[in-house]
Every structure is written in C-alpha cells, then in structure tokens.
Chains A and B, each alone.
Chain A
C-alpha cells in the first residue's frame, strides 16, 4: 500500500486537484451568476442560461491557461532538474505531460459544448426579446412579464441610460444577429478551430500523418487570439447602480422607473469586458519562450562523430554537441532538416554520461529513419567523409534519470522487449562508476534480466553485454554483474540441435556470453528467493522497464519476498517510465 501511494499517489493527487478546481470554478461562477443581484435583470431575460454559459466560461479560462504549460518541454525539463529537493516520484509526474495536455483538451471540449449550448438558448431569447417580446420561445424561464421584458429591451445607450440587451435591432434570425457581435464571430471561429484540431489529433492521424497533426495543431494560435478577443465586446451586462435601484423591489414598478424617482432610478448596465487575457497571458509568454528555446537549440551545432551499422537494421549514431549533459536513461529528440523540416523524433540515449560523446541506436523502420540511414551513408559500402554527414539538431535530454540504483546494495534490473534500450545507458553508467577509483559504491551486485522474444534487432545490446563481461573478467570482477537473457520465443529444430551440441561449452552459443541464455519466461519466484537467500539483511532495488503486465508481477514478487523482519532482505520496487 505504501508503495502504491509513492508510485501512483502523485498522479492521482494532481488529477483530483485539477478536477476539483474545475468543479469549484464551475459551481462558484454558477452561483455568482445565478444569485448575484447585479444580474437580476439579465436573468429575467435569460433564465438559467446565463449561469450555464458563464460557469463553463470560467472553467475554459482555467483550462486554456493550463493547456499550454505541459507542452513546454524545455521548461518542464528545467523544473525537473532544478527541483532536486522534491521526491523523484513527484518529479516523475512531469513525464506525463502529454497525457495531461490531452485531458485538459478534452475538458476544454466539454466546457465549450456546454458554453455554446447555453448561449444558443441565450441568443434566441435575446433576439426574441428584441423582436417579439410577447411571443417568447417556450424555453423562456425568466420570471418577468412580457411588459418588463419589453421595457428592459428598450433601454438604450444615451443620457442617463445604458442598454442591457446586446441585441440592438429586431431580427428574426439569431444567427445573423449573433454574427454581428465580436463574441459571436470569434466564438464560431475558435470553436471551428477546436473541431479541426481535435479531428487531426486522433491517434490514427497522429501516428500515420504527423505533418497533418503538426500543421493543423498550429490553429491554436487562431484559437488563442480569438479567445482573448472573445470577451471584449462586453455583452454580458450586469447592473452597476444597485445602490439606487434594487431590482428585487423595483422590477414590479417598471413603468415608474425614472431618473427622478426616489427608490427606482433607471437601472444602468455595463459589460464585464475581456477577462481571459489575465488567465492566458503568462502561459502564452512561456510558450513563446519555449519555441524560442527550441529554435535556438535547433541552431546549435551537432556533429556526428561515428555511424555504426548494426545487424537487423539498427543504426548507431554517435554525436557531440557543445555543452550537452545527460543522465543515464534519458532521451532526446532528433531533427534532420534535410529529411523533414518539421519532424522531431525521440530516441533513448544509449551512451553513458561519462563518455565523451552521446549515442542513440535507431531501428530503421519507417520513412524518416530510412532516409536518415541513407543520409548518413549507412547504405554505402565504403567509409564516408565527416563533411558528408547531414546536419542534425538535438533537443533534450528529457526524461527521468535512474540514479536511484546507487541507493541500494543490490540492484535488480529487468528490461523487457524494447524497454531494454535505456538499460544500455544505465549499465554502462554503473560500470563506469564502479571502475572509478575515486568513488566507493554502496552498490555491490547487479542482476540484469533481459526478456525478449528473440535478440533480433538487439544484437548490438548483446555485443554490449559481451564487452562488459570481458572487461569485468579482465579486472577480476566477474561477480559484479550477473546477466540472464530469456528468449521467450523458444527455439526451432535447428537451434535445438546446435544447443545440444554445444551444451558443454563455457560460453553461450546464441549470444557468446559466459552466462547461458535461457528459454521461455523467467521463474520470478525462484529468482527472487535465490536473491533473497544470497543477500540477507540488505535492501534490494528492483528497476523495471517494459509492459505493464510484467510490472505488476514484479511488484507482487517484491512484496512477497520482502521479509517482515526489519533486519531481513527488503525488495523495493521502482517502476521506471523511460
């Protein structure tokens, strides 16, 4: 239970807080417009529609303020780096930024629907009040009489007089009257922009036709401009002279309103004016700064120092950039203008922070990666000159780092499928730390479990393990790292024959490593109990990267094999979101 709170708690806390603020704003503004005396006459005209339109408007202000923030990834990265005091589990929430962006976007859609729906009724009522006050639509709920409605609507801007009904001319068409107002035009434009942005952001479109998504999503510029201008007409008009005209008493005597009357002077009205800019100005500035930073970073020179072609269509790029600093397990975005001016693709860093370059291993699967491979000359048989390398820009690094492993005496790393990639960086990092004579590590033993259907596309990782193994043997530290590879796809007849023939040999026939490759899935129960027996009385950190199902299995194992005796072995589960 404690682990759940640490791992999942912050996420739910943020969601509950955000949802709670939405509800609070909705209810608060609803009551303000539903009960406020200054809106008494407006409520006469509009009924419930006023509160139902203004409440989501407040929530829209709040959510439109929030929506720009999760996509400022450089700002987020800076926050994560500088908040060293906060718990990692809290900082890790910053990695879920796009998920939050989408949640806020859905909320904006919901509130837009309520806001627009309510204003449909409001507009019809205002137009009907101006055109035919004795024949109002049946959903008219305001409790004024026809005569009062007519009186209110006839109030004009002039000496001692201001109007309340923003519809100034009789017209049977609500649409035309609506489009005569700034709010109407901007409302239609930004709602249409929202619809188009939503339709081009569905998963199918995002994954298959990224440029459509990216270009159309820039309609947010139209959206924000329209949003800021939406309220400047001030058409929601509250009463300003409540001290000399109390609507709750004076509404009955509407025929007697006059500037000379003792208690019921003519009511004066004024619009609230634009409020949205106060909410969205700061995020807009932050976002502009974010784009400037991205542009500046894209101009900084990145040099490709080495291109290595690995089996199964994997390309390794080693690069250098001035001032680049990374931590193990992070990722970067790579941009290649000669291939596509728009696309930035994320790749996990596979080099260790101590190395003099940074590297990524790229699987050639699609258009962009194929073009990158060609541009780097990976298809050519001979060596390429350095000046032929394409221009590259790098943004990042982003993501949580995994330094927590050094808090434990024993570490268990589990990488499943493609989740093994960040462990290349992590393992190298651990190795460099271990070999550093200036540092005494608390970490004494690392168990690494790699689970994959087959080693196809990860031969480079097997090579990395082999080179680490050789280095350890050279230094006589064969015991530090313990590898286990599990090939879950099993073997075919030919492989089986081969394995039987080489059963007696020291190194594994598939990977060449000293430890043997296993077939099938690991028996976690056995593994955990073996580790528990070999390391009594220590705390063991378990780190996992891969699919969810295995994550819960490992979590369960950690809980099961942790001894209840405080002096016994304790397994601490850390779910990494690389």
Chain B
C-alpha cells in the first residue's frame, strides 16, 4: 500500500462523522426521546471537530493545512502526548461514539466515528504520531557526535604546495599575494 499514513484518512473520517453526529444531535433535540443524548452528540461533535481540525504533519511530502488551522495547532500541540498519541485517540473516539448510538438521528455519526477510531488504531499500530505543522519540534539538544562551532576560524586553512594547487585565472584578491 505504498507510503500510506492512515492518520490522514482517520482524520477525514472523524471530522465527517463529527459533522454527521452534530447534525443528528440538532435533529434529536427537536422533540425526540432521550434529548440528553442529542445534546451530548452536539457537544461531542463540536469537540471532535476542534480536535481533528488541525491536520498533522506528514512524514513524507508537503502537509496541506486546513484554513486557519494554525491557531488550533498550537492548542493541540500544547496538550502533549494526549493529543499526539493515536492510541489515545482510538480509545477516545471509541468511547465518544457509544452514547450517540442510543438515539436514532445520531446513530450514523456514532457508526462513522467508530470506523474513525478503528483507522486510528491502525495508524497507531503503524507507529504514526500527530506532529504539529509549522512548529519546530526539534528543540532537542545537539547530540554528542556533532561538532559545535563557537567561533569563526582565525587562521586561514593550510594550503597545498604551489605545484599541486589547481590553476585559477588571475584575479585580484585581498590578503596574501598568490605565488604560482
């Protein structure tokens, strides 16, 4: 299946299901039994849309952001592991979809969200993580085998003897006159 990132699809599925759940919840508030479930579905739908709105950074290729997602990216990034780990999202969506399954208008949203949670499980299983787009996460200290440059060199580099030096066209240069 090539270089697929399941989380990208899980994200789309979760957002669409959240919209369906939200709309179903609004319908459910207009006089159906168990209006509490409808109210819950509206709230859960809004929550999931906000959570899933910022797309994560793709491992390979150009990450396409949703419009204005940078504000939510910061919020999601600030929550740390809770939002970046996809196992947690799998459990979260699984739990969130259950109550919505008990009222008729919201049942389609619940089923859609269930599918999204499964795809998130697959994503987590493949080791994917949510990374913020546009925020530099590599603030880690430099590893030990990297040389750290603190000051520019004060001496010019040593030169090879004149007869093996590569020939250059005559140019005026500052510094030592070249003896060819």
Contact = CB atoms under 8 A, between A and B. Distances in A.
Interface string B1-41: 11111001100110111001001100110111100000000
Interface string A168-180: 0000101100100
Contact of B32 (A124, A198, A211, A367): A124
Interface centre among B9, B30, B103 (most CB of A within 10 A): B9
A240 to B, nearest CB: 29
Contact of B104 (A174, A191, A192, A208): A174
A46 to B, nearest CB: 14
A139 B8 contact: no
A477 to B, nearest CB: 46
A367 B1 CA distance: 12
B37 to A, nearest CB: 11
A202 interface: yes
B88 interface: no
Given A192-B115, A196-B115, A211 B1 contact: yes
A298 to B, nearest CB: 20
Interface stretch (A100-108, A113-121, A502-510): A113-121
A212 B10 CA distance: 11
Contacts of B102: 175
A200 interface: yes
A157 to B, nearest CB: 26
B27 A199 contact: no
B108 A123 contact: no
A380 B175 CA distance: 48
A14 interface: no
Contact of B13 (A120, A172, A196): A196
A212 B11 CA distance: 14
Nearest to A211: B1
Contact of B2 (A117, A178, A367): A367
A21 interface: no
B4 A124 contact: no
A354 B30 CA distance: 69
A252 to B, nearest CB: 28
Given A196-B115, A205-B8, A191 B108 contact: yes
B104 A178 contact: yes
A225 interface: no
Contacts of B32: 120, 124, 137
Nearest to B105: A120
A196 B20 CA distance: 12
A557 to B, nearest CB: 35
* Residue of A123, A196, A210, A340 ringed by the most chain B CB atoms within 10 A: A196
Nearest to B62: A208
B107 interface: yes
Contact of A199 (B2, B9, B108): B9
A124 B5 contact: no
Contacts of A210: 2
A86 interface: no
A205 B9 contact: yes
B61 interface: yes
B51 interface: no
B23 A208 contact: no
A1 interface: no
A305 to B, nearest CB: 29
A120 B3 CA distance: 41
B49 interface: no
For B2, B31, B58, B101, which residue has the most chain A Cβ atoms within 10 angstroms?
A: B2
A199 B6 CA distance: 12
Contact of B31 (A137, A199, A204, A205): A137
B64 A195 contact: no
A198 B20 CA distance: 12
B8 A199 contact: no
Contacts of A198: 16
B5 A192 contact: no
B12 A192 contact: no
A204 B1 contact: no
B122 to A, nearest CB: 11
Contacts of A178: 104
A210 B9 CA distance: 11
A378 B112 CA distance: 46
A204 B58 CA distance: 11
A195 B16 contact: yes
A38 to B, nearest CB: 27
A78 interface: no
A384 to B, nearest CB: 26
A138 interface: yes
A386 B27 CA distance: 65
Contacts of B112: 192, 195-196, 199
B5 to A, nearest CB: 7
A432 interface: no
A143 B147 CA distance: 85
A209 interface: yes
Nearest to A210: B2
Contacts of A113: 23
A188 interface: yes
A137 B38 CA distance: 15
A138 B104 contact: no
Contacts of B2: 209-211, 340, 367
Nearest to B108: A191
A172 B32 CA distance: 12
A192 B104 CA distance: 14
A116 B33 contact: no
Interface in B99-142: 101-105, 107-108, 111-112, 115
A199 B20 CA distance: 12
A117 B1 contact: no
Most buried by B among A137, A209, A340: A209
B33 A124 contact: yes
Nearest to B1: A211
Contacts of B107: 175, 188
Given A138-B31, A192-B111, A199 B1 contact: no
19 contacts: A113-B23, A117-B105, A120-B104, A124-B33, A172-B33, A175-B101, A178-B104, A195-B115, A196-B13, A199-B9, A199-B13, A205-B8, A205-B9, A208-B5, A208-B58, A209-B2, A211-B1, A212-B1, A367-B3
Q: Which 4 A-B pairs have the closest CB atoms?
A: A199-B13, A199-B12, A139-B31, A120-B105
Given A172-B33, A211-B1, A211-B2, 20 more contacts: A113-B23, A116-B108, A117-B27, A117-B105, A137-B31, A175-B101, A175-B107, A192-B108, A195-B17, A195-B20, A195-B115, A196-B13, A199-B12, A199-B15, A199-B112, A200-B13, A209-B5, A210-B2, A340-B2, A367-B2
